Amino acid sequence: MWELIQSNRRKSLVLFISMGVTLLLLGYFFGSAYYPDGGGFIGIFFAFVIWGILSLISYFSGSKILLAVSGAKEVTKEVHPQLFNIVEEMKISASLPAMPKVYIINEAAPNAFATGIKPENSAVAVTAGLLARLNRDELQGVVAHEVSHIVNRDVMFMTFSGIMLGSIVLISEVFLRSLWLGGGRYSSKSSKSSGQGQMIIMIVAIVFAILAPILAQLLYFAISRKREYLADASAVRYTRYPEGLASALEKISDSSIDLKTANKVTAPMYIVNPLKPKGQKLTNLSSTHPPISERVRILRSMSGGANYVDYQNAFNKIKRSKSPIIPSSGLADQTPIGLKEASITPVALGLNKQTKRDTGDIMMKVNNYSFINCSCGLKIKIPPDYKKTELFCPRCGTKHSLI
Amino acid sequence: MNCPVCKEPLVVLELEQVEVDYCTSCAGVWLDSGELELILETDEDRNRLVNLFKEATDVNEKSYDCPICGKQMRKYEIGEKGKAVVDKCRKNHGIWFDKGELQKIVEFGSVNKENKIINLLKNMFWKSMPLAENKISLNIDGGNK
């Protein structure tokens, strides 16, 4: 297993270093655009410092920031025992050194992500919509996928390359804006001193400032796409039940609700890209995830076993290519792992609704809502910022006091 | 979440495991897209809802902003003669019913029995709707004395 991580690491490292080079080049050009004599190295230094500071912040509190930005709330075992139970199971079958923290995001859109640069200190976050829609097998598939991201150190790479992308975007923005603001003063100075050579460097810097963020984004997405297949393969290994993840992926992509808290940098963290228009089939350079339909087809065509070899075979069959997704060390382990039979019949929708309500109620309780059960059968849930001291039930007109 | 009309916090009402957001000041109702998805289980149900909505062209009503994304919502007519006008978020976050519109739709519901949303709103507000106003005003009077 360790070698598997190593190999995955090496591949991503190449992409990661390309991003780093882009960042340093960016610094070099900007530096020389301002100070032709040795300014390039000052530029590199500043680019490096900015990246370093951002990386340190993300290393120590990246998870916290990500969870806060997505509006995730940590929950205890009492809140959702089944989810906890599944995370525990997956922790054991993936041999994680510590139990990941469990977070619920109060959103109707079904999705999930994992954070944690070190497996010892990780977290799994799922939305309330996900809990409402999936049955146990499907939820297990999703949690297994997220746990594999932690085990395969995907979270670490996505965090650091995300930060690098952020630095590149930041530096380009600052440079382009400074040209806008200080352009007049600068150009008069340069025309006196150096002339044409300086002009060329300036143009190169501007072109680079425009291209670098795009290039970095493509690299970021390429890193991201590669890792989704491996996480799917590992998930099957942990659950021995590809159909669970397959139908979960389908359900997630079928939903037409948008995830309100997702943005460009956090999008690759989720199990299904929350930003792409639905129904998109083609893999293109700018997508963070492989197409769902393809991931589902690979999972469904797995037969015979839940090993990495079986996933690779299914992958080759569907993609009609032999590009290795699984590192050779993973394929070498051919100990047969049998597939599991479907354990439960899909949950009836009435129950499903109830699960969604229960999760919603939990989220509201966490957020300090108060509850009134009116005798007419209507449940009234009052937000903490509600100021009035009494209200009338809109169904039967009964007056309720709120103090 | 705040009322798009009077900006006061909305309370949540739950009946038969479906939630709507309700403004206690203006009695308007917000139906979230997540709830719509729960109510409308089949494609048939969804089509029925879509067929009910017609984009309103010449409506002079004030337009409101979606309580979720803050973008201006679009007006839609419901029913044959464009009796009720509702506001629907352009990004599909949900639908807003003003009090008057709600009443029209609930009345309309006796004609269009198969529509689940109308049935839900009817069940939630029908019993009280003509009465509620009386009752509330009575109660307020009582409080003043």
> Is A146 one of the annotated active-site residues of the chain?
yes
The model's confidence at residue B18, banded by pLDDT at 50, 70 and 90, is confident
Answer yes or no: do A353 and A401 share one domain.
no
Q: What is the complex's ipTM, to 2 decimals? A: 0.78
Question: Is the pLDDT at B42 greater than 60, yes or no?
Answer: yes
CB of B115 closer than 8 Å to CB of B125: no
Question: Could you tell me if A378 and A326 lie in one domain?
Answer: no
Q: What is the pLDDT of residue A8?
A: 63
Long-range contacts of A72-75 (CB under 8 A, 24+ apart): A72/A103, A72/A104, A72/A105, A72/A123, A72/A125, A73/A103, A73/A104, A73/A105, A73/A106, A73/A363, A73/A366, A73/A367, A74/A101, A74/A102, A74/A103, A74/A123, A75/A102, A75/A103, A75/A104, A75/A362, A75/A366
pLDDT in tens, A57-87: 877 887 888 888 888 888 888 778 888 999 9
Which residue range forms the structural domain that includes residue A162? 1-367
| A386 in the same domain as A362 | no
Tens digit of each residue's pLDDT (9 = 90 or more) over A221-271? 777 777 888 889 999 989 988 989 999 998 888 776 777 777 666 777 787
Between chains, do B34 and A378 touch, taking CB under 8 Å as contact?
Answer: no
Residue of A nearest to B15 (CA): A378
The answer to whether residues A150 and A271 belong to one domain is yes
List pLDDT tens digits, range A283-325: 455 566 777 888 888 888 887 777 888 888 888 888 777 666 6
Could you tell me which chain A residue has the CA closest to the CA of B138?
Answer: A397
- Closest by Cβ to A397, choosing from B15, B18, B128: B128
Rounded distance, CA B51 to CA A65, Å? 44
Catalytic residue among A3, A88, A120, A146: A146
Question: Which of the residues A353, A361, A372, A402 would you substitute to probe the B interface, choosing the one with the greatest number of B C-beta atoms within 10 Å?
Answer: A353
User: Mean pLDDT throughout B9-31?
Assistant: 87
Contact of B111 with chain A, judged by CB distance below 8 Å, is answered with no
In this structure, are A382 and A291 located in the same domain?
Answer: no
* A357: closest CA of chain B, how far (Å): 6
Sheet containing B11-15: which strands, arranged edge to edge? A370-373, A379-382, B11-15, B18-22, B29-32, B94-97, B84-88, B74-78, B53-55
Same domain, A318 and A373: no
Mark whether A325 and A386 lie in a shared domain: no
Question: Cα Rg for chain A, rounded, in angstroms?
Answer: 25
User: What's the predicted TM-score (pTM) here?
Assistant: 0.66
Query: Which position has the higher pLDDT, A258 or B72?
Result: B72
A403 with A295, same domain: the answer is no
Q: Are residues A189 and A86 in the same domain?
A: yes
Residues of B in contact with A365 (CB under 8 A): none
Give residue B128's pLDDT: 58
Distance from CA of B35 to the nearest CA of A (A): 8
pLDDT value of position B86: 85
Does one domain contain both A177 and A192? yes
Chain A residues touching B1 at Cβ < 8 A: 383
Please report where in the chains the tokens 């960042």 appear, as a residue: A23
Number of domains in chain A: 2
Q: How many residues does chain B have?
A: 145
Looking at the structure, tell me whether residues A336 and A383 fall in a common domain.
no
Q: Which residue has the higher pLDDT, B64 or B108?
A: B64
Inter-chain residue contact A353 with B13, CB threshold 8 Å: no
Check pLDDT > 80 for residue B44: no
